[in-house]
Chains A and B, each alone.
Chain A
Amino acid sequence: MATGGAGRIYGHSTNSAINTGDGIALSYNAGAALKDMEMIQFHPTTLPNGNLLITEAARGDGGYLLNKHGERFMKKYAPERMELAPRDLVSRAITSEISAGNAASGPHGHYVNLDIRHLGAKTIREKLPTVRSICLTYLNIDPIKNLIPVTPAQHYFMGGISTDLNGNTTLKGLFACGETACVSIHGANRMGSNSLAECLVFGHSTGLQTAKYAASNKHTDSNYIKSKLEKENQKISSLFSASSPFTVFQIRKAMQETMDNHAGIIKNETQLLKGLATIKELQEKAEQIRIKNHSLVFNNELTSLLELKYMLIIAEATLTSAIERRESRGSHFRSDYPTRNDQQPPEHTIINEAHGKMAIAKAPVKINQWKPADRKY
């Protein structure tokens, strides 16, 4: 499995349209364990319209974040590190500024401003060309002269299919790497650009391991595959019908709003439980959706229904794990448990399929080199 994350379960996400978590849901259905599905990173700087990503480099190279009063508000939240504080902290700071009425407002909602003008035209052209071209194309503004409106959005899944260093999942013969997998190198909060390193390093080791496994396990039961394939075909055929009580769009939109509102940057038990109840209702509704277009060639309507069902599994796993983690750690922030629980050793949240339900378990975190330190920025 190398199918990426599931950012599209959120309405506000930097992710591509294809990030629907199909591989994670398929693996879960097949019996593989999922790990740390509550660990979801929100990126502080995305454009209000469509949440296109403005890279961290904009702040790394010295950009300022300003509220509507023109104040560098990060001094209130991270007086030392300021704009270079971790992503979760900056995202929460922007959320707090919005709640306090300190954010500006436009046709696409509340936002703060990212100011890179003082870096100068040369630096912006040479080091941040993508930021500039996105601003020119999508906002018709030039960051050499103008402020960039930004707002936080879902960005990355630290969790995923539980794997070891060689990509082995808990299911024999199934291998996973990349954002789909959770090998736990990102802990509870990924550092910028480490997903690239993850893909290169673990793509390599997983590829080798998979090839080795495939070479030494030549036997495949063709009858087993045939019967499974037939079942899949039947499942797809049963989705075709002239009438449907709901459309994919309606349920997808309801799911995304639920995740935005109930499993966002700042979470609490009441909201999470409400969210989970709604997602379960939506799962039932999604089961009733039928597809009018019976084509088997590039049938967007059919694929979007299959993706929706996968996303609803991920949404349930995310909410279930988030409810279970009664502390704040890394990207996971609970207003009802605002601090990290250092009283007991850290644990992973594991989810397995058991009799059609999500069974939750804990596993110890193996810390090799860097122990969680005080989060003072």
Chain B
Amino acid sequence: MEIKLKIRRYNPETGQLIWEEASVPFHQDLTVMEALDYLNDHKQKQISFRHSCRMGICGSCGAVVNNEHVLMCQTFCRDLKQPIVIEPIKNFPVIKDLVVDIKNGMEKFRTALPYTKIQSNHTSEKSGYKHLLQSPTQRKKIEQSSQCIKCMLCYSACPIFAFNQNFIGPAAAALADRYNKDNRDHLKESRFREITKDEGIYKCSFIGECSKVCPKSVDPSGTLQKLKIAGVFKSPRKSIPQKNK
């Protein structure tokens, strides 16, 4: 038995955009990623797409498959209506076929200051070594938001980001929250300053697509609402500017 695929292909060198139809022998465990590999290995289709870990950890094989924003390595052909329509993720410029330029998204992560200053909070009596400790309870607070693999599916699914790329976006907000809630962090103030700027979190209108598509069950949507409230209380009061007479 064969399954039918329909792949959106863009060639930057000729400017050509086509929908290529192809078929692949079906087996029960066949993923969309493996189907594309098959086309390249056995039919020399030369489809450009990113993939690596094959198990939903590296976050490189995001795509829009039958209008759903998914990781292709975790999407099984057996569950899909045919022809299986495969497109690159949305809201990023397409480089070629299914490969997009995610630079803009990576820059958003930078504004979330996704790091902290290392300062030891404990000295071992026995060895004299300095430690930076975190209890299981403290760990639990950042567990969900730590799962983000930067696959950009939430940016692809976000209608606000599609409309206004000045929005910090779902994953960057979740990342900011992950560091804000980390007991070892010392940069909360500057992080809040960054994410509450005009390009920050407030453009979110709680549509919730990001949390729906997240393959790692991070909840950027819920996090954004909490950040918006916290941001209001944290930011300094602005005086109302006087109109020029």
Interface residues of A (CB under 8 A from B): 16-18, 49-50, 52-53, 107, 134, 137-138, 247, 249, 292-293, 295, 297-301
Contact = CB atoms under 8 A, between A and B. Distances in A.
A53 B53 CA distance: 11
Given A16-B54, A49-B29, A137-B56, A300 B42 contact: no
B189 interface: no
B136 to A, nearest CB: 10
B146 to A, nearest CB: 12
B99 A16 contact: no
Contacts of B54: 16-17, 50, 52
28 contacts: A16-B52, A16-B53, A16-B58, A17-B52, A17-B53, A49-B29, A50-B55, A52-B54, A53-B55, A137-B74, A138-B55, A247-B44, A249-B40, A292-B46, A293-B46, A295-B96, A297-B13, A297-B48, A297-B96, A298-B48, A298-B95, A298-B97, A299-B46, A299-B48, A300-B40, A300-B48, A300-B49, A301-B40
A157 to B, nearest CB: 17
A299 B11 CA distance: 11
Contacts of B96: 295, 297-298
Contact of A301 (B42, B46, B51): B46
A303 to B, nearest CB: 10
Contacts of B12: 297
Closest 5 CB pairs of A and B: A249-B41, A298-B48, A16-B52, A298-B96, A16-B53
A301 B12 CA distance: 16
B162 interface: no
A300 B53 CA distance: 17
B117 to A, nearest CB: 16
B160 interface: no
Given A17-B51, A49-B29, A249-B41, A300 B46 contact: yes
B26 to A, nearest CB: 13
A298 B101 CA distance: 12
Nearest to A253: B41
Main secondary structure, interface of B, reads loop
B55 A300 contact: no
Contacts of B44: 247, 292, 301
Contacts of A137: 56, 74
A298 B55 contact: no
Contacts of A16: 52-54, 58
Interface of B: 11-13, 28-29, 40-42, 44, 46-49, 51-56, 58, 74, 95-97, 99
Nearest to B34: A50
B97 A249 contact: no
Contacts of B46: 292-293, 299-301
A53 B51 CA distance: 17
Contacts of A138: 29, 55
Contacts, number: 52
A292 B154 CA distance: 36
Contact of A134 (B42, B47, B48, B55): B55
Nearest to B58: A16
Nearest to A19: B52
A13 to B, nearest CB: 10
- Residue in B29, B49, B52, B96 whose Cβ sees the most chain A Cβ within 10 Å: B29
B55 A52 contact: yes
A150 to B, nearest CB: 15
- Residue in A50, A107, A138, A300 whose Cβ sees the most chain B Cβ within 10 Å: A300
Given A16-B53, A17-B54, A295 B11 contact: yes
A295 B55 contact: no
B95 A297 contact: yes
B114 to A, nearest CB: 17
Given A16-B54, A247-B41, A300-B47, 4 more contacts: A249-B41, A295-B96, A298-B95, A301-B46
A312 B47 CA distance: 24
B51 to A, nearest CB: 6
B51 A295 contact: no
A144 B95 CA distance: 44
A230 to B, nearest CB: 22
A292 B55 CA distance: 31
Nearest to B55: A52
B74 A298 contact: no
A330 B245 CA distance: 84
A201 to B, nearest CB: 14
A298 B88 CA distance: 14
A111 B110 CA distance: 45
Given A17-B51, A300-B46, A295 B95 contact: no
A180 B54 CA distance: 21
A297 B52 CA distance: 19
A295 B13 contact: yes
A265 to B, nearest CB: 22
Nearest to A303: B48
Contacts of A18: 52
- Residue in A18, A53, A107, A299 whose Cβ sees the most chain B Cβ within 10 Å: A18
Contacts of A300: 40, 46-49
A20 B76 CA distance: 26
Nearest to B216: A133
Contacts of A134: 55
Nearest to A139: B29
B40 to A, nearest CB: 6
Contacts of A299: 46, 48
